[in-house]
Each structure stands twice: as structure tokens, then as C-alpha cells.
Structure 1
Amino acid sequence: MNTRVDKFLSLLKALQAEKVDYVLIGGLAVVLHGSPRLTEDIDIFVRNTEQNINKLRKALSSIFNDESIHEITTSELTQYAVIRYSAPDDILIDIITNLDERFSFEDIISEEIEVEGNIVRIATLESLYKLKANTYRAVDQEDLFFISHKLKELNND
């Protein structure tokens, strides 16, 4: 299997093992909903509490031997919309706790799915659509097209 995919799966397993309060969003979430696209990073929306961020650091430390993991703090996550953690293996992880006034952790509706024997908390198609609705990157527009068609397909069943 692809090394990047293996690392993504390891991260999802570690998040589950440490009971991190998170929701998978972004490209990987769209892929897990059935889109045939590729993604270079993993985007996780996390609850910004000291206890939860400690669990997140523990999960990351179980996979990556990197002292900079300890620089991920609740204050940093409050100050910046996205913290990009660049793991030693060229794995990019975007950690998000809020998107301005538009979205907080509580605004993301999620569901649990099984991926390679692991339970993954993933944003629903409706939440992904709302998250991407006001974005302008070509890849996000393609995701919106996929999501809207998938929602229509599901609503016709």
C-alpha cells in the first residue's frame, strides 16, 4: 500500500486509540465518501481543550518521533485558523479548531465509518458542502460538484 495512505491510516488509528475528539474534513473525507481524487494532506477539525490537545499530541507522538509536536498548543490553535504540522515523513496534517466566525467544532456534523478496521469520525456530506461552499480553489470546486451529485443520488434512493 502507499506509504502516505499507510501514515494516514496510522494517524486515524492513533486518534481513535487516544480518544481524540476530532472530525476528519477536507480532501481525505471527500475521498472516503467515494470521490476518486487524490489528496496530499489530512485535515482534522479538533475540539480545542487542553485535555483534547494533550490526547492529540500523544496520538501524533505515537506515530512520529518529533519534538515539535509539543509546540501544538491550545493557545496556538486559538490564535491561528489552521496549524499545519509537517511530519518528518513529509506527511502534512492541517489541524483546525475554528474557521473564523463561520465554523466551530460544534458546527461540524459527523458520522462514524469503518476504514481498514478502524472507526473514523468523518464530516457528513452536508457539512463538507458547507465547509467548501465559499472556497475558490479548483479542487474545492471539484469537491463541491462531487458532493452535490452524491447528495442528489442519496436523496433519490
Structure 2
Amino acid sequence: MEEIAEALQRLIKALEKANCMYVIVGGLVAIHYGRNRLTQDIDVVIDIQEMSRLASALKSEGFEFSDRDILEAFKERSRITLFLPEDVFFHVDLKFAEDELDYEVLKGRIRGELLGVPCWIESVEDIVSAKLVYGSSQDEEDVIAILLNHGLNEILKEKVKRFGVYEKLCGIAEMIGLKC
């Protein structure tokens, strides 16, 4: 976890240097909210208007990527994988915000601490909503762990209704003994 913490610290430094609106999402945040699992990446959603500052800041922190690939991801509002030369297996998946769910997660971000690093993280309600929307088996296991640790609330119920996954939430909640 030391390598992940160092990579996270370098990533946050670069994003904040570039004055980038960001939120850490995915597996690392699921672990933070009580899911016992491993991850080999940091997932981050960003919204930025000026690409050159971001590319420069990421490179100054040692991240490796193709200038062409990051520019293409920025233009297409898609994702790019960033690597650190010290670790070929661990990486950062950087996603440029593109849809309502991405912007909702950015809007709902909260200030927290991951692995001792202060940063903006996905709220409980947003991570559960996103994982239900994406819906892989690992995402559903993450949701189960998060619900067992944090329960259900009305904000979460309303949010999943907006994204069309309320029935999925209720099915999982009832399976683990929570009333929806």
C-alpha cells in the first residue's frame, strides 16, 4: 500500500497544481468505505479546461503517457492510463468527465483522506450509484460491503432512482437484510 499512497500523493499534487477539479473513485474508495479487496490502480474523474497545464503537472510528478493519447482522451472526453516508471503493474486510470454520472460524482465529492493523503473522494451515495450503474460482479460486491458498513439513506435511494438502478439497490439490500 505504500506504493499506492506515494502514487496517490503524486497524482493529487499534479491535479491540484493544474487547478483541476477531480474526484478519486472506484476500488480505492470502496476500500476506504469498508470493502476488503485489492486494487492495482487509482481511478480518478476530472474536469479541466486547459490540457497543457495538466500534462505538464503530471509529467513533473513522474507520470508517463503519450502526449497524443492524453490530448485525444481530452478531446473525446474519454480515459487514459498513466504509469509511473517504478511500477509497471500499478497505474492511474484518468477519466475526463463526459456524462451526467461523471458530473454528479464531481459535484458530490467530499474532502477526505485516502492512505493518509488528503484529497477529494467520491461520496458513499455516489460510489454506490456508480457501481450499480456499471454493474460488474466486483462492483456489486463493493456495493454489498459498502451497504453493510454504511447502510441505506434517503439521499442514496433518490440518487439511484435518478440513474435507473433503484430496483438493483433494493435487491442487493434485501439480500443482505436491509429494508429498502
Shorter chain as normaliser: what TM range?
Answer: 0.7 to 0.9
Equivalent residue for 2:142? 143
Equivalent residue for 2:123? 124
Structure 2's unaligned 5+ residue stretches are 155-180
State the AA in 1 paired with 2:58: L
- The answer to which structure has the higher helix fraction is 2
Q: CA RMSD in A?
A: 2.8
SS in 2 for 1:23: strand
Instruction: Return closer, same or farther for 1:6/1:104 CA change in 2, 3 Å cut-off.
Output: closer
1:63 to 61, 64, 69: 61
Structure 1 residue 153 displacement after superposition:
7.5
Equivalent residue for 1:134? 133
Structure 1's unaligned 5+ residue stretches are none
Structure 1 residue 130 displacement after superposition:
1.1
State the AA in 1 paired with 2:41: D
Deviation track 1:22-60 (CA, whole Å, cap 9, x = no partner) reads: 01111112222333321111111000422xx33432331
Structure 1 residue 116 displacement after superposition:
5.9
TM-score by structure 1 length? 0.76
**Bigger radius of gyration among the two:** 2
**Matched-pair identity in %:** 25
Equivalent residue for 1:79? 76
Instruction: Return closer, same or farther for 1:3/1:119 CA change in 2, 3 Å cut-off.
Output: closer
SS in 2 for 1:119: strand
State the AA in 2 paired with 1:131: A
Greater mean alpha carbon deviation, residues 55-64 or residues 20-29: 55-64
Equivalent residue for 1:111? 110
Deviation track 1:123-145 (CA, whole Å, cap 9, x = no partner) reads: 10101111110334322111111
State the AA in 2 paired with 1:98: A
TM-score by structure 2 length? 0.68
Instruction: Return closer, same or farther for 1:9/1:131 CA change in 2, 3 Å cut-off.
Output: same
Aligned length: 150
SS in 2 for 1:72: helix
